Structure 1
């Protein structure tokens, strides 16, 4: 199906029959094939058993009914809300089910090579360590310079090098991923980015003393506080642990962010990119 979208004064054709998933497929049967962050337990599946019934046809059951156990933040591609850093009983700490998402959002896909923290004047809390690799404000400024703000409702960041090993990566002390600087996230807010998709396990450093500095800046929640305010950007989302295949070129797309209606601060998700054909 082809649809026509008017964005500002420009029209685009989008063929929704040909989307590109940015989600890592989660293999519940083989934990070694799963990505993992922060030493979380692997995602598991087991057949339901109740009153003589077993939900596994290979064990004589009439159908397959599997119970799934997973950590949405650490076991694969997921989307999180402001509720990730705020007290759940606050009305402004939206759950996944309460988000208001358009079916298609303008989106820029960019590719960046993380740099040594010592090569930027950007800041972070806590202070950078000697081995930190980061995405800086200058990198984002250069990559997004040609995009008007109206095209940046969502941004997908692919980090280089981009190996399919990311789909099974175990992020820990021995394999610490890159993260964003304070200044980089401030720039995203200045450009009006509402939905950020990363192939990193977190916007923040793996071990950051529990500060989640960049998360707080992105949602405009005072650092060190777990209560959003009237100035907080409550409908924004961060999607982490995505995988952007090398067959997708940097450029302008439309994105559909597919998430279940979980009453939780995060849920597994499936961002979909669609080619945007500009009409002259």
Structure 2
């Protein structure tokens, strides 16, 4: 199915049958990514009143019970409910997000750099092992990208090895993260939906400050409730995996989410190629 999309003065053709998922398949009970020493994502057959939900054990059908932590076991999307009181009337849950079916989205690739060599900073002093994504890097890569192409931004970190699909991030192998200036720059550019292949946009051991999350959602330091400037419909998606076959450039994003009444949920971001179309050709369709 082909659709034509007009975005400001530019026109694109999108083939909806050729989307490319950048989610990590969550393989319950087997290899999977892990963050913050969370329990492994597990599944087991339902067993009740003589019924067993496993055809190999004689059951009539397979009915699995699942146990997982959306923040730590795989690709997931977060709302401001991640850092705000979840019973606050201004806190957004996953089911309350109002997402367009196709979001203008840009994909870039960045190799995080040693933090101690940077002039930019973070809410806490850098450690020797810290690697960061900087405003300088983002500015260089996004300098020619129009703001209307940045409703969503996907960042692939380099090197991009396939072991990201089952990597364990901990204090011995911590994740890279963003500098304060880098996160401020993303907000200034108007990015509403940030997708990264990192387990967190903040440092693993950040004393619970989650400063980059706060900057992205425009929530005051240490506050647990939203304010009038809070970006309540913005999302952060972490632990994606962007295959090397996908080239940097402009796409349309379909961010697929379940109707969870929760601050986060497993998600499947799908990228669609955006083929530029001449104005005359667009008008004829």
TM-score range, shorter chain: over 0.9
Runs of 4+ with deviation above 4 angstroms: none
Residues of 2 paired with 1:119 and 1:250: CA distance?
26
- State the match for 1:270 in structure 2: 268
CA deviation profile, 1:209-235 (whole Å, cap 9, x unmatched): 000000000000001111110110100
Residues of 2 paired with 1:226 and 1:254: CA distance?
33
- State the match for 2:26 in structure 1: 26
- State the SS of the aligned residue for 2:56: helix
Which one of 184, 187, 193 corresponds to residue 186 of structure 1? 184
Displacement after TM superposition at 1:175 (Å):
0.7
Residues of 2 paired with 1:29 and 1:82: CA distance?
30
- State the match for 1:103 in structure 2: 101
Unaligned runs of 5+ in 1: none
Displacement after TM superposition at 1:20 (Å):
0.6
Which one of 115, 128, 133 corresponds to residue 135 of structure 1? 133
Displacement after TM superposition at 1:51 (Å):
1.0
Residues of 2 paired with 1:87 and 1:57: CA distance?
42
Residues of 2 paired with 1:37 and 1:131: CA distance?
17
Residues of 2 paired with 1:127 and 1:258: CA distance?
37
CA deviation profile, 1:213-262 (whole Å, cap 9, x unmatched): 00000000001111110110100000000000000000000000001000
- State the SS of the aligned residue for 1:209: coil
Residues of 2 paired with 1:91 and 1:271: CA distance?
27
Displacement after TM superposition at 1:46 (Å):
0.4
State whether residues 23 and 268 of structure 2, in contact with CA within 8 Å, keep that contact through their aligned partners in structure 1.
yes
Displacement after TM superposition at 1:29 (Å):
2.8
- State the SS of the aligned residue for 1:142: helix
Residues of 2 paired with 1:128 and 1:92: CA distance?
34
State whether residues 29 and 40 of structure 2, in contact with CA within 8 Å, keep that contact through their aligned partners in structure 1.
no
Displacement after TM superposition at 1:56 (Å):
0.4
Residues of 1 paired with 2:15 and 2:155: CA distance?
23
Residues of 1 paired with 2:16 and 2:136: CA distance?
34
CA deviation profile, 1:191-223 (whole Å, cap 9, x unmatched): 000000000000000000000000000000001
Residues of 2 paired with 1:193 and 1:129: CA distance?
29
Residues of 2 paired with 1:247 and 1:116: CA distance?
27
Residues of 1 paired with 2:83 and 2:36: CA distance?
17
1:74 equivalent in alignment to 2:72: yes
Kindly tell me the number of residue pairs found equivalent between the two proteins. 278
CA deviation profile, 1:157-193 (whole Å, cap 9, x unmatched): 0000000000010000111110011110100000000
- State the match for 1:122 in structure 2: 120
Residues of 2 paired with 1:56 and 1:263: CA distance?
29
The alignment's TM-score, normalised by the length of structure 1, stands at 0.98
Unaligned runs of 5+ in 2: 279-285
- State the match for 1:144 in structure 2: 142
- Provide the alpha-carbon RMSD of the alignment: 0.6
- State the match for 1:65 in structure 2: 63
Displacement after TM superposition at 1:119 (Å):
2.3
Residues of 2 paired with 1:183 and 1:91: CA distance?
30
